[in-house]
Each structure stands twice: as structure tokens, then as C-alpha cells.
């Protein structure tokens, strides 16, 4: 496993990190989830990402129990806030930052998180109020660093212009061969200001593993067949997209990688990316994903993959 700095912080994070969206505490049984976590550590993953809203606290509670016997300084732990936790609890107000952070720490069984992230931008709360609350959380020792997920570039710049608040060190955007939007504005702005990318859905929720045959139903047990985990895949499960993904397999083979590893290596080719977050329901998936770390791939193969998928994603 290779490691990269998270932005201009002193956090060294594994190139592959383990996430818990739609999986731990929700769609994956506890013993299987624990096996994935143990395998992740065995493979050199040191970065675990979660959020309070995943399973309405269930993912954090699972991790709190599963991590309790590991030395706290042996892993980097990240969580988030923004989405509703009740009918009245949502957003990034000072009150919510304090309340949700306390609740997350209790569920996670720790005195601090290494990274506390704003899960989305809160248009109903003054940005300065959010930044002041996050700064106070860092100053209290309960948070080491702060980050954001899926913020518009102009709001990122507004936060950078604050001048008195603690600076964001991380951005968590969706990024994959099938979703390249952050390259336009978020990546250039971030790298110029010491903000690293922790990208989510780098395998497009499993579509870029190549396991979905365009002419057959999704395989039993896959994310696309899961009521808990497959609800966000309609855009990806289109025949032209699945056919194009199948055409990437020879390129991956030429690189000496599985398509899964090839797709992750494509994400990691960017210096802006500190880590790619994977989701796994079986230990063998973790092992395969980790094989992408440090992979050397001819850029011409990546360029060809981009061309194939760009054609498939063109509007009809």
C-alpha cells in the first residue's frame, strides 16, 4: 500500500480507503463487515470514512465497536454531518455542528476524529457561522482537520477567503471514469490551496468492475440487486454504458490489472487525489481493490478508456 498526504495536512492516508456508505450497519451483515475491516487493515489501509447519516448512526456505531481494540493512533478516522438525523436535526449551524459532533464521537467510541467533513453545503446557514463552529471543534481537540463534500467551487473559494477560520484540507467529490465533473473547477481550485481529494464511488458503485453484463440481469448478491444499496444506480445501469465498460477489459489486461484495479488506478493517476474510497461487502473485494495502489499504467491505455466511455455517455 502506498500513502499520500491529505492536502497540506500532516495526515498520511492510504491510497485506498474504506468507506461505509450503504454498507456497514445497513446492507452488510456485521460479521462480513468486520471481516472486510480486518482485511483492510491487513492490506495497509489506514483511512476509514463514514458519516452520521449512514444508517442514521448505524455505520458509526458499527465502527465504534469494531475499532475499539485497535490503537487510536493506528488509523485515520473521518466522519461527516449535514443530512437529516431527525425531523429537526440537519444542516451546518453552530448548534448542529456541536450536537452532531458529540453524537458521532459517542457512537464511534473516541475522543476525536481526524477529519470532520461538511457532507454538503448548507444554503440556510451563514458560511461564517459554520466555519466558526468547525474552528471551535478543532480548537477543542475533538477534531484534527476539517473538509467538505460536493461543495460548489465558489463556496469553496468563499471559505478560503474567510481568513480567520481553520482551513479545509480535504474535498470529497464523486469521481470516476464515468463521472469527471470535479476536474473542471474543484480540482484546480483545491490543489492551488492545499486541499486533497478523497474521492467517492471511484468504481461507479461497482459498474466499473465489469461485473454487469449488458445482456443479462445483475448477478445475485450484487449491489444492483440490493434494495438497501442499489438505489442510486439507474443512470449507470444503461446498456450503452455497460457495453462500453466491457470494452475496457482488454485495456486492463494489457496493463496487467483487473478492470477494478485499472479503474482505481485511473483515479489515482491524478496528483490531486489523496485517496480513493472503496465500498466492500467481501474481504476478497478489499484485497483486489488494494492491488491498484502503486500500479503503473501506460497513459495511452487510460486515454483509450476515456475515449470509449465518452462515446457511450454522449446524449442520444
Q: Which residues are catalytic?
A: 54
Q: What is the CB neighbour count within 10 angstroms for residue 256?
A: 11
Angle at 199 between CA 257 and CA 39, to 5 degrees: 60
DSSP state of 197: E
Residue 294's SS3 state is coil
Spatial distance between the Cα atoms of 167 and 145, rounded to a whole number of angstroms: 8
Residue 140 CA: distances (Å) to CA of 117, 163, 190: 16, 19, 26
Spatial distance between the Cα atoms of 146 and 194, rounded to a whole number of angstroms: 12
Residue 56's SS3 state is helix
Distance between start and end Cα atoms, the chain: 41
Give the distance from CA 150 to its chain's centroid.
11
Please check whether residue 94 is in contact with residue 62, taking contact to mean a CB–CB distance below 8 angstroms. no
In this structure, the strands spanning 12-14 and 3-5 are antiparallel
Residue with cell 469521481: 175
Amino acid at each position: 500500500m502506498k500513502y499520500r498526504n491529505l492536502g497540506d495536512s500532516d495526515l498520511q492516508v492510504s491510497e485506498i480507503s474504506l468507506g461505509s456508505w450503504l454498507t456497514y450497519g445497513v446492507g452488510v451483515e456485521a460479521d462480513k463487515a468486520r471481516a472486510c475491516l480486518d482485511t483492510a487493515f491487513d492490506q495497509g489501509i489506514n483511512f476509514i470514512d463514514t458519516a452520521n447519516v449512514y444508517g442514521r448512526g448505524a455505520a458509526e456505531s458499527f465502527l465504534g465497536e469494531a475499532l475499539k481494540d485497535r490503537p487510536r493512533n493506528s488509523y485515520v478516522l473521518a466522519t461527516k454531518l449535514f443530512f437529516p438525523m431527525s425531523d429537526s436535526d440537519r444542516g451546518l449551524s453552530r448548534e448542529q455542528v456541536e450536537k452532531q459532533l458529540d453524537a458521532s464521537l459517542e457512537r464511534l467510541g473516541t475522543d476525536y476524529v481526524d477529519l470532520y467533513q461538511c457532507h454538503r453545503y448548507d444554503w440556510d446557514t451563514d458560511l461564517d457561522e459554520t466555519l466558526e463552529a468547525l474552528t471551535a471543534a478543532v480548537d477543542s481537540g475533538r477534531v484534527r482537520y476539517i473538509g467538505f463534500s460536493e461543495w460548489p467551487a465558489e463556496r469553496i473559494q468563499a471559505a478560503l477567503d474567510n481568513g480567520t477560520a481553520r482551513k479545509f484540507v480535504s474535498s470529497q467529490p464523486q469521481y470516476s471514469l464515468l463521472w469527471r465533473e470535479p476536474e473542471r473547477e474543484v480540482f484546480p481550485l483545491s490543489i492551488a490551496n492545499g486541499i486533497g481529494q478523497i474521492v467517492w464511488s471511484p468504481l461507479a458503485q461497482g459498474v466499473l468492475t465489469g461485473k454487469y453484463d449488458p445482456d443479462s440481469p445483475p448477478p445475485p448478491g450484487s449491489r444492483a440487486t440490493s434494495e438497501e444499496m442499489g438505489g442510486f444506480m439507474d443512470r449507470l445501469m444503461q446498456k450503452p454504458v455497460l457495453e462500453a465498460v466491457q470494452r475496457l477489459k482488454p485495456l486492463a489486461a494489457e496493463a496487467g490489472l483487473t478492470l477494478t484495479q485499472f479503474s482505481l488506478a485511473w483515479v489515482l493517476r491524478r496528483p490531486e487525489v489523496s485517496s480513493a474510497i472503496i465500498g466492500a461487502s467481501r474481504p476478497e473485494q478489499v484485497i483486489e481493490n488494494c492491488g491498484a495502489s502503486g500500479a503503473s499504467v501506460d497513459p495511452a491505455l487510460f486515454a483509450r478508456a476515456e475515449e470509449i466511455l465518452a462515446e457511450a455517455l454522449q446524449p442520444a
